[in-house]
Amino acid sequence: MSDGGGPGIWAVPERQGRGPRPAYSRAQITEAAVRIADAEGLDAASMRRIAAELGTGAMSLYRYVPSRDDLIELMVDHVLGEAGVPDRPSGDWRADLTLVAEGTRAMWRRHPWLTGLRRPQPTFGPNRLRLTEFALGALDVGISIDEILTLLDMVNGYVERSVRGEIEWMREMERSGLTPERWMRESVPHVRELIDSGDYPMFTRVVQEARLPHMSGDEQFRYGLERVLDFVAGALPED
């Protein structure tokens, strides 16, 4: 999720050469940065702010984390460890990808600052590699690696799009104080006018027939995920 690519910070030893034992670890710096970002947003997690939290000077932290991109890479890999996947796939690809999708959604919701990052170049953080290895392995069912990558990208794309929408909606509610129930009440007069006009038959069907808008966020997510996994199933060899 950082702007860098390749091995990045993972290619730089945490402790280089001889000398006194470091006063801090990258893990401590990363954990402090994540705490700040969770509470105040990603921009608040500056080296100066992290140093203040740790009780040291900002310049000293650059010995451990050379750049902002490196810090973000460490932060993202740290929270990816919360996805909670086992060491190996279970053999039930659908259950395994559901586990990945739901764990990833929960991770994004706990750390909404992730939405401020653009799509990453590949990096080699240990948690990202573990999650990727598990997800790819779940689809290792007799199809090519290119097919595995394409199908997994579809699942990941659905998860990311869905959770970004959820987080943006939550932010809008916080900003405006507008709840979904209040929004629906205030929209009723205009919606009735649109339906009565007869000009929007498909919109009318959405209002009158659709179940999705009345589902909880969890139910909506699972409904969409099941449709995506149905498509994946259609691309896999028959048992």
- 23: domain CATH number is 1.10.357.10
d(CA 14, CA 238): 48
Domain for residue 3, yes or no? no
Q: What is the predicted pLDDT for the residue at 2?
A: 39
Q: Provide CB contacts within 8 A for 55, sequence distance 6+.
A: none
What is the tally of structural domains in the chain? 1
Q: Provide CB contacts within 8 A for 7, sequence distance 6+.
A: 123, 124
d(CA 3, CA 68): 9
Q: What is the predicted pLDDT for the residue at 1?
A: 38
Q: What is the mean pLDDT of each run of 10 residues along the chain (239 residues)?
A: 58 62 83 96 94 90 89 94 91 96 95 84 84 96 96 96 91 79 84 92 90 87 96 89
Going from the C-alpha of 71 to that of each of 10, 41, 77, the distances in angstroms are: 11, 14, 10
Domain for residue 176, yes or no? yes
Strand runs labelled E in the chain: none
Domain enclosing residue 15, as ranges: 8-235
Q: What is the predicted pLDDT for the residue at 14?
A: 73
Domain for residue 140, yes or no? yes
CB 28 within 8 A of CB 54: yes
Q: At what angle do helices 145-176 and 126-138 cross, to 10 degrees?
A: 120
Q: What is the predicted pLDDT for the residue at 183?
A: 76
